[in-house]
Amino acid sequence: MEGLLGAGMGKGPALAILLAGPALPLPNMLVIRTVLGTQKTIVYCSLVVVMATLSGYLYGQLM
């Protein structure tokens, strides 16, 4: 992340990557799908992406 910030990436998008990255690797999604089912997994992944994007956008606007 330090390299991306040094290359000119904004703090908002960096925060969004840091929030969504650990929550959405493929092995995690497969385990969540096994436990919760496909439909709930899609909702979970969608919410993670939307909330990380909104958080990054708001942080970028405020900072």
| Tens-digit pLDDT profile for residues 19-44 | 999 989 999 999 999 999 999 999 99
pLDDT value of residue 14: 93
Which amino acid, residue 27?
P
Distance, in Å, from the CA atom of 48 to the CA atom of 53, rounded to the nearest integer, reads 8
Q: Is the pLDDT of residue 1 over 90?
A: no
- For the chain, how many residues are written? 63
Distance, in Å, from the CA atom of 31 to the CA atom of 19, rounded to the nearest integer, reads 19
Domain range summary for the chain, segments of one domain joined by +:
2-62
